[in-house]
Structure 1
Amino acid sequence: MGPRPPHRGVPHPRARTIWYAVLLVALAVGSWGLYNRVFGGLATTDLTSTMPWGAWVAFYIYFVGLSAGAFLVSSLIYVFGMHQFERIGRAALLSAIVSMGVALCFIGADLGRMERAPITMIFFHWTSPLSWEVRFYVLYIALLVTELVIAIRVQRRLVRSVERAHRWMRILGTIGVPLAIFGVHGGTGTIFAVVKARAMWFGGLFPVIFVVSAMVSGTALLIAVHYWQARGAGRRPDRVLIRNLSTVLLAAVLIDLGLTFYEFVVPLLAFEHHDQNIITLQAFGPYAWTFWIIQMGMGMIIPAAIILSPLKKRTGAIVAAAMICVVGIVGVRFNIVVPPLIPPVIEGYPTGDYYPTLNEWLLSMFFIAGGALVYSLVSEWQPIHEPDPDDHAALAADRGEVPSVATAHTEKEALS
């Protein structure tokens, strides 16, 4: 063990001041939405008995997806040994923890009686996906925190055996991969997939779509986080890392695009009129702009086109594609939640109609800004973004050099 490496993740004073000022303003403005929700209840939203779910549930599954996707990227490092991504390992774990916390805030706000949320840990039913999901979340968060603590201790050289610490991280990551795929985000998709009364939810493909789009959003988020954190700290972003992550992002986007194709073409070819009604709403109804512009355009087509084009040689273009993709997946989640609730379940029942109120947007801003603030403070308190002292590849990238991944990894093993 050696001395703690110098802290290199604190942003420049000006960038730091601007960033925290923006977050504090967002929290101050959004706190009005929190006040209205606590004292005004769900009457401050556009939710009704016909439309019981809305923007908060969409953001809930969005941030669960960010968490699962970020964790799966970390598993490429700690489980599958893809050391070219090692520099963002701790950032991926912290992103997964914070995103999960934000997701739980959103679903808590959506509950009619928020104070009754802990009861879900007391009562359990074997056939309820929600009962299983609550317990999966607890295990998942505990695993993430444990793995992050070990990763930080390794980086700060506070462990007696680096090899033993890495072995524990591999074990935890190996447990976490099926937990994230089948329990956390796949399980969240199962909550929707077992609802027989709602077309476009009921089906076995739905949990798979959730997992793949989680990988899309999680990878895109980590590209953006690494780039802007490095720029804010006055460091050169790791161009090789960003390009490697863009390859993962492209693969996930193309798979997601293929699954979306089958999600729509199967009910159309089967002439399933309930599904066709919802597809028509998504493509030509009042939310068509969220489908074509945000979901398909920003979430899939534009990022894929940028990464496949010669623009991939420019780091800024890749980061722009990632940021566009992060926003686009919000549209995916919105279209999962809202359009299937609009057609009446029984003929003669009222048709649903929903658009988020100002209070829903304000509270959403409060939760998102709060998550960003927590992430920023922890990043300054702990070495989340700093390269390991013996990580020659990361240090060389800061100097503008690009050593081979194999050489860097060989050097790191020798120093360990």
Structure 2
Amino acid sequence: MNEFLTTLWNITPDRPWGIDIPNYFWFTGSSAAAFIISSFAHVFGMRKYKPIAGFSLLLAFVLLVVAPFNLIDDLRQPGRVIHFFFYGWENFPTSPMKWGVLLLLAYPLLIFTEACIMYREDLIGRMQTSRNSIMKKIYKFLTFGRTAINDTERKKDHKLSYWLGAAGIPLALSVHGYTGYILGAVHAFPLWHTPLMPVLFLASAMVSGTGLLLVLLPVVQKFFSPVGKVDLALMADLGKLLAWFIVIDLVIRFFWLTFAMPFNGSEKYALYEFFSYHQFDIVVIEYIIGLFLPMAVGFTALRQKLSFVMAAGFISAAGVWLFRWNTVIGGQGMAKSTGGLLEYHAAVTGQDSIASVLANGSLFVAVLCLVMLLFPWGDEMKRYYEKGAYHGYESPKLFESHGGNSSRGSNLGL
């Protein structure tokens, strides 16, 4: 009898969530951050962010479009996603996952609508100049059939963009906040069970989204936009913004860890065991390399160096992904029904594997390229720089010609 009980005790249950879930959390969080940075210009009127506001908005849209594919892959049988839409709505008031269904439908629709309104005049111009009948229909669809260009329509576009951006801020925060809410509501895993989890996810999301922008913006500005140069001053500002987001993230993590470990009940011993086992991953890689180094770059003159600020962006974004991994995968390693910590090794190929995460990243690149081709974000960026509408400067023209030299060489590089 004792041998039988010992055998039951040592059974290692399968984890319900694998590598797809932290990847999904990372994509939704980065989307929320990109949208917030876009709103700095559209809603709060911060002029230095206006040249990149359109690209940030499109980035937020693409990140959220590809994120749910991680959930579909996690289902093992993709057809199961249909059941999620048709069943279980009687539990809506107490089901964060059901809240997520509505949020994942409403949020990308709002971003798409805002982008179409923001670029309406440019889309009309492309519709009128395009010789391809199919592309004409696509551009007309993107304008929602509003093809008139006059002051009345411009005022209407501006007003709609403002209100959509304002409504999108709480929606963006809710889209990623509900993911932390799902984890925080689970009693079985002490690493998750805290009301700080939604706030913690949002704070780290601002770090990953800003870091992703620091990696992508120099590439698109230099090689894919009519500007043809990198705005070094704006990159430095984003580097400093990243550093402040890291400070906020660290403060919230401090509250989370100090309340969970010293003041918790018997669960604190499981947390001590977890952090002791993963000490190098968490302290050295996640905190020192992933957070403190990028913060040091953002708060010092190193942010004036493009290579340093891009490296800081990449490291911080990767560090937040590791945080998602340690939280989701590591949290499931402390189930109350088992002794010790469970181990998890992601499969290399197949569903819920490293290959599926790489495929999701490839899909992100493909959709981003498609969206960048459809929407004239580069023309918008060039117009703002020509107006001098960044960093408070009012020079009549920053670029002599298409992709030409800047009248302020200290701000534009490469």
Instruction: Please give the range of the TM-score, normalised by the shorter of the 2 chains.
Output: 0.7 to 0.9
**Matched residue type, 1:132:** W
The answer (yes or no) to whether the contact 2:233–2:304 under 8 Å persists in 1 is no
1:66 positional shift? 0.9
The answer (yes or no) to whether the contact 2:289–2:315 under 8 Å persists in 1 is yes
Cα displacement string for residues 12-53 of structure 1 (whole angstroms, at most 9, x for unaligned residues): xxxxxxxxxxxxxxxxxxxxxxxxxxxxxxxxxxxx843111
Q: Distance in 2 between matches of 1:240 and 1:163?
A: 31
Q: Secondary structure at the match of 1:396?
A: coil
Matched, 1:169 2:175: no
Identity %: 27
Task: Identify the residue that residue 241 of structure 1 maps to in structure 2.
Answer: 234
Residues 321-400 of structure 1: matches in 2 within 5 Å?
321-346=312-337, 351-359=341-349, 360-386=353-379, 387-389=381-383, 391=385, 392-393=387-388, 396=398, 399-400=405-406
Task: Identify the residue that residue 298 of structure 2 maps to in structure 1.
Answer: 307
Cα displacement string for residues 200-247 of structure 1 (whole angstroms, at most 9, x for unaligned residues): 211211100111111111111112211111222381111222122222
Gaps of 5+ in 1: 1-47, 406-416
Task: Identify the residue that residue 56 of structure 1 maps to in structure 2.
Answer: 20
Deviates more, 1:246-255 or 1:228-237: 228-237
Task: Identify the residue that residue 120 of structure 1 maps to in structure 2.
Answer: 84
TM-score by length of 2: 0.79
**Matched residue type, 1:211:** L
Task: Identify the residue that residue 204 of structure 1 maps to in structure 2.
Answer: 195
Change in Cα spacing, 1:108 to 1:92, as seen in structure 2 (3 Å) is: same
Change in Cα spacing, 1:298 to 1:351, as seen in structure 2 (3 Å) is: closer
Matched, 1:295 2:301: no
Matching residue within 66, 69, 77 for 2:33: 69
The answer (yes or no) to whether the contact 2:262–2:268 under 8 Å persists in 1 is no
Change in Cα spacing, 1:192 to 1:238, as seen in structure 2 (3 Å) is: same
Matching residue within 276, 280, 286 for 2:273: 280
**Matched residue type, 1:136:** L
TM-score by length of 1: 0.79
Q: Secondary structure at the match of 1:389?
A: helix
The answer (yes or no) to whether the contact 2:233–2:410 under 8 Å persists in 1 is no
The answer (yes or no) to whether the contact 1:63–1:100 under 8 Å persists in 2 is yes
Change in Cα spacing, 1:276 to 1:300, as seen in structure 2 (3 Å) is: farther
Change in Cα spacing, 1:129 to 1:272, as seen in structure 2 (3 Å) is: same
Matched, 1:137 2:104: yes
CA RMSD, 1 decimal = 2.4
1:101 positional shift? 2.1
The answer (yes or no) to whether the contact 1:95–1:375 under 8 Å persists in 2 is yes
The answer (yes or no) to whether the contact 1:253–1:300 under 8 Å persists in 2 is yes
Task: Identify the residue that residue 251 of structure 1 maps to in structure 2.
Answer: 244
Q: Secondary structure at the match of 1:222?
A: helix
Deviates more, 1:392-401 or 1:211-220: 392-401
The answer (yes or no) to whether the contact 1:74–1:93 under 8 Å persists in 2 is yes
Cα displacement string for residues 326-379 of structure 1 (whole angstroms, at most 9, x for unaligned residues): 11111111011011111232256x852202121111111111011112112321
Matched, 1:217 2:208: yes
1:288 positional shift? 3.7
Matched, 1:265 2:258: yes
Q: Secondary structure at the match of 2:106?
A: helix
